[in-house]
Each structure stands twice: as C-alpha cells, then as structure tokens.
C-alpha cells in the first residue's frame, strides 16, 4: 500500500494562473481531507470529501477555491487566479471511515511568483 499520494510535490505558478493539486487516497479509503499550512503555522482544515460529495467545506475560502473527489480518479483541489497569499503547503489525508485516524500525504508546496 503506497499510502496517500499527492502530486505534484512542488508547484510554481504566477499570479492569476490556476493551480490544481491532486490527491490519491490510500487503497480502501473513501474519505479525503485537505489541509493548508502557511509558513510558521500549524495545519488548518479546509475541506472534507467522500466520493462525489463535499461533506464539510467550512475551512475553505469562499472564492477561488474548489475541491472535488470524483467517482473515478484522485481528489482535486483547485485554486483559480492564484495570489501570493496562496503560497503554502497543502496536505491531503485519507481515512477508511470518517472517525478513523487520518493518514497524510507528503504535501504539495505551492509557490506563487
């Protein structure tokens, strides 16, 4: 079991471009969580998804950010019209059920020029 896979590991975008971050959960896990870590801060919850459903997006900014977890394929976190403040590490986690321990990926480090 390869664990939670995130790609790319590093992503560089210019202001105004779109960023797409991918997360493949561990085999057998149908619950996916996205967290953001700003420099010198802890991880902050963004969104929780199950297959084809957003369960809780209370931590996600209302504009420019969206997430999906389609029936087939990885979960995608999409950031449109990126700004410098979006520079952060974005972590994905998965669990087999909602109340089970979450297993984390290596994260994607997003840098905005």
Partner 1 sequence: AQRVTQPEKLLSVFKGAPVELKCNYSYSGSPELFWYVQYSRQRLQLLLRHISRESIKGFTADLNKGETSFHLKKPFAQEEDSAMYYCALLNNAGNMLTFGGGTRLMVKP
Rounded distance between C-alpha atoms, residue 45 and residue 34, angstroms = 6
- Tell me how far apart the 2 most distant CA atoms of the chain are, in Å: 38
Using CB under 8 A as the binding rule, whether residue 2 contacts partner 1 is answered as no
**In the set 15, 51, 55, 61, which binds partner 1 (CB under 8 A)?**
55
Instruction: List the structure tokens of 32.
Output: 């996916």
Residue with tokens 């997006």: 57
DSSP state of 25: P
H or E element that contains 56? strand 53-56
Nearer to partner 1, 68 or 106 (CB): 106
Using CB under 8 A, which residues numbered 21 to 50 contact partner 1?
31, 33, 35, 40-45, 48
Q: Which stretch binds partner 1 (CB under 8 A): 20-28, 67-75, 76-84, 90-98?
A: 90-98
Between residues 76 and 104, which has the closer beta carbon with respect to partner 1?
A: 104
Distance CA 99, CA 85 (A): 31
Residue 96 is a binding residue for partner 1 (CB under 8 A)? no
User: Residue 113 interacts with partner 1 (CB under 8 A)?
Assistant: no
Binding of residue 104 to partner 1 (CB under 8 A): yes
């Amino acid at each position: 079991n390869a664990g939670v896979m995130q790609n790319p590991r590093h992503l560089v975008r210019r202001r105004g471009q779109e960023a797409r971050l991918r997360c493949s959960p561990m085999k057998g896990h149908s619950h996916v969580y996205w967290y953001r870590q700003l420099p010198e801060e802890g991880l902050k919850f963004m969104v929780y998804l199950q297959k084809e459903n957003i369960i809780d997006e209370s931590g996600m900014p209302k504009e420019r950010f969206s997430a999906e977890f389609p029936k087939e394929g990885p979960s995608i976190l999409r950031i449109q019209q990126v700004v410098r403040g979006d520079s952060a590490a974005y972590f994905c986690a998965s669990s087999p059920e909602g109340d089970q321990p979450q297993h984390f990926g290596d994260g994607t480090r997003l840098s905005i020029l």
